[in-house]
Chain A
Amino acid sequence: MGEGYFVGLDSGATTTKAVIIDAAKGILGSFVKKTGADLEGSATEAFEEALKRAGLLRGEIESIAATGFGRKSVPFAQERVTEISCHSRGCYHYFPEEITVIDIGGQDNKIIRLDEEGRRVGFKINRKCAAGTGAFLEEMAHRLDIPLDDLDGLARRSNNAAEIGSYCTVFTATEVLDRIRRGEKVEEIVKGLFVSVVKRVLEMGALSGRVIMTGGVVAFNPIVAELLKLRSGKEVEIAPHPQEMGAFGAALFALERAQTRAVQRGGSL
């Protein structure tokens, strides 16, 4: 295997992730930061921080692939690939078999089905609204005046989950406050919010093969994977570095396309 370092940048609506790998596909460094309104600035910062952690200089990077909502706002990337392909590629690296990838991000959910060869058989991005995404949980945490990071721990304290009726984020907020007014336990309500997220996922499509979850929501709230397992009856696992999976997959694309170019030129990396 030759040398060279490759970068994947996932410019998401909520967070920007950078992952640096070597030609053996080992992760050397990574970084996550909030995207904010400056997509290019956030991508640059995430990239530079990942470089520091990898102990590399910018000039040592062979190729950069960008993915995510802001992939076209990363001018220093050589490749652009949708996050559907990147999450797929990244997960297949760790699970080279028939899998269903469920990515729950800040503003959208995706279900992606791969066959045993890693080819995409189908995918679906969530319909029209943020119910069942990180944005939903952020809004609920805000309404309940609970830190976002505390939600998972709080939900685990309850055996029961409130069955939230609405699928609209705004309506759910009203429903949640109404339940509190009626004296229902916050832990049960919070668990019910996670069940809501799971329900939105189950409405999107069938799950086949091994179910692998990625994305920031499941990285910080692993209870979502447990609830999905309970509600679907399927084996559900959380992928390694779930929040950075899109960036990792993008880095793999950067590597593979650079290798293809090298072969076409008659050389190798």
Chain B
Amino acid sequence: MSKKGLRRKEIKAARDLKRVMSDYYYRMDRISRGEEEGKIAWCTSVGPAELLRAFGFEVHYPENHSAILGATRVAMDCIPLANAIGYSPEICSYLTSDVGSYLKGETPLSRLYPGIESPPKPDLLAYNTNQCRDVQEWFEFYGREFDVPVVGINTPRALVEVREVDIASVVGQLKAMIPTLEEVSGEKFDIDRFKESLRLSRRCSELWGEVLGLAKHLPSPWTFFDGTIHMGPAVCLRGTQEAIDYYEILKPELKERIESGVAAVDGERFRLYWEGMPIWGKLRDLSEQFSELWACVVVSTYCNSWIFSAFDEKKPFESMAQAYTEIFINRAERVKEAYIEKMVREYQVDGIIFHDSKTCPNNSNARYGMPQRLEKRLGLPCLVIDADLNDLRCYSEEQTRTNIEAFVEQLAQTKP
């Protein structure tokens, strides 16, 4: 395969995205400095954001900050500081990057949003272990540092089915948070406000799902690498009108690309599924490599993880418990496998790349034989690459590049 010239195709909506995320961070910064009324809650990425918004909290996501640390490649300067105070290099590198950045007293938010000196200070921290255990320890650290309440949900994990007993447990824990949320926010729980928050969140997640679904088109109008950037509002602003407004700008632009025959990867030959976390510090390099190989990563577990179909304002607590418990990352192997298989068919995927993140076992699904089973059952080549979400010390660039190139050579055997 010979090298082809790369043409970077800008998504125009990126300008609106920049504005939306900028407004969001500046608003939190003003609140944090006391220049504006409000309270800040820190929340995990699939934590009870809608409930927090129902109390008027503005919501900061440390995982988003960590992704920025990774994408701007400053995570490596931060992680060792967390290691030095006892947070092992073997644990979540989002946690060690973020804690390291706090210890250092520096944040890339300062460069992205001049005037912002640090992430917004929390008045409260709320986690859900539906994604992993590390988030609990991460938030406990800040609870101690800032001397603020930490509330959490410990979700039953690795479920085959989401049972009534699981929903009941999570509902109970959600309701148990309310007294603390009332005390910190200074507001009484308002069920209508909560329902509205859920309604907005569901609409955002429907739109995000529709945007992602456009990649089913051959050729795809965008790639997974675009998705990791444009998912910002779905993660950080769900439950708000701003997130909905943003996807109502992005969706028509991508539809227009389809109508005009504009492909994200010119001459798209190979359609791939990315399983696992992004390698934040290498998004552009990987995006370019795939493009050079005529390969488009059209679908991923990661971007699909912010589609919450179960939200139902008629059953606010139960549906929220359902939505946050039934997520991919919280399911048994066989459920995950069936989901990937479904996506492979819907997106007409030619091969699956499993990213095994050294420090993120919960998002690394090549550890219990899944690639081998899928290869056998679907007759679809699978590749496992070893890297990490933020800790590039775990990343062998040359081996990964060769692995990807060899994988595409293999796909070319059956799709010349």
Contact = CB atoms under 8 A, between A and B. Distances in A.
A127 interface: yes
Contacts of B386: 127-128
B409 A85 contact: yes
Contacts of A123: 406, 410
Contacts of A160: none
Interface in B312-337: none
A83 interface: yes
A contact residues, range: 10 to 19
A83 B403 CA distance: 10
Contacts of B405: 82
A165 interface: no
Interface of A: 69, 81-85, 108, 119-120, 122-125, 127-128
B239 to A, nearest CB: 40
B110 interface: no
B187 interface: no
Interface residues of B, number: 16
B279 to A, nearest CB: 14
B399 A108 contact: yes
B413 A82 contact: no
5 contacts: A69-B398, A82-B402, A122-B375, A122-B381, A125-B406
Interface string B385-405: 010000000101011001101
B351 to A, nearest CB: 11
A82 B406 contact: yes
Contact of B406 (A69, A85, A127, A128): A85
Given A82-B405, A82-B406, A85-B406, A125 B399 contact: yes
A113 B386 CA distance: 20
A193 B402 CA distance: 28
Contact of A84 (B396, B398, B402, B413): B402
A84 B402 CA distance: 9
A84 B403 CA distance: 9
Contacts of B410: 120, 122-123
A6 to B, nearest CB: 17
A124 B406 CA distance: 10
Contacts of B406: 82, 84-85, 123, 125
